[in-house]
Amino acid sequence: MKVRCPARAGLFVDAGAGGRPEGLFAKLSLCDELELTALRSDSVELEVESEEPLPSGSANSVLRAAAEFRKAFKVGRGVRIKLVKRIPLRSGLAGADSDAGAVLRGLASLFGLPGRGRVCGPLMRLAKKLGPAVPFFVQPASLCRVDGDRFTPVLPGGSIPYLVVAFPGFRLSSEEALREPPEPVEPVGLTRNSHLDKLIRSLEEGLSLSRWEDLLFNRWEGSGSAEAARVGQVRRILARVGLRGVRTAGVGPSAFGFAASHAEGERVLRTLREYPWKVFLTCCGG
């Protein structure tokens, strides 16, 4: 069976308990892909298609998720996993967490437990054990408000414009980004919660980008770190080539902006070829 592993972008990113990101997040059509095959033996085999080497052993999110799943649910059979890696490593697009969540959903469906891949307490508890962002990829909503351990689906009243996502190439792990919490930055004119509420209402009502692009927010943009400054340069370039609502995708180092149309997104991709970046035209929806 095949399972898609979508990248994630934060439309509104704030710091919750322990400094962990929360707010409004979207699964993107930029995806890794898993192919899972049950084995008669009890081994776990991993084949990887990737432009760059992945961590091995317990540092590999796919292998760790498979091992923890088999241990938690006492699965005696093994599995062969093929991972096609398209989301850049340590790009701030949550690729490793998405891969882990996809393993849990896929194995639950493949072996018929628990809930055959649907959201259930045991699967979510295991996802949380694997990492704070992994439960987001176990729950089914493509656009979701994250508040601690609560996930509230958001259903847009219209289509969300295409995004151009740019990964400039320098790496920043979540652990490094969260080591020093950013200084509080309040959205202009509103408290953060009311700002987020207004953004969600605008999306649910299907309002045009011009009505909600100024509501997008990312607290990590105000961290004052050298990495945040470098991502700020990327954002300025994205805005200069015509993208709107430009923001950092998570805690860094990727950034995104919205294009008026698919053709406009393609034009931006061609323009950005002069930079040594990885650039993707994608959309919300996973």
The tens digit of pLDDT for each residue in 21-64 reads: 999 999 999 999 999 999 999 999 999 999 989 988 889 999 99
Residue 127 and residue 217 in one domain: no
Residue at 187 is within a domain: yes
Residue 31 and residue 68 in one domain: yes
pTM, 2 dp: 0.91
The tens digit of pLDDT for each residue in 92-129 reads: 999 999 999 999 999 999 998 765 555 678 899 999 99
* Average pLDDT, integer, range 161-177: 78
Residue 178 and residue 238 in one domain: yes
Residue 167 and residue 223 in one domain: yes
Query: Domain tally for the chain?
Result: 2
Residue predicted with more confidence, 201 or 193: 201
Residue 173 and residue 106 in one domain: no
Q: Position of tokens 């958001």?
A: 154
Predicted confidence band of residue 181 (pLDDT cuts 50, 70, 90): very low
Name the residue range of residue 12's domain. Answer: 2-152
Residue at 35 is within a domain: yes
CATH number for position 98: 3.30.230.10
Residue 176 and residue 231 in one domain: yes
Residue 15 and residue 115 in one domain: yes
Residue at 158 is within a domain: no
Q: Residue 179: its pLDDT value, please?
A: 46
The tens digit of pLDDT for each residue in 250-277 reads: 987 999 999 999 999 999 999 999 999 9
Residue predicted with more confidence, 229 or 154: 154
Residue 73 and residue 28 in one domain: yes
Residue 236 and residue 175 in one domain: yes
* Average pLDDT, integer, range 180-202: 70
Q: Residue 159: its pLDDT value, please?
A: 93
Residue 181 and residue 259 in one domain: yes
Q: Is the pLDDT of residue 189 over 80?
A: no
Residue predicted with more confidence, 226 or 246: 246
* Average pLDDT, integer, range 139-153: 94
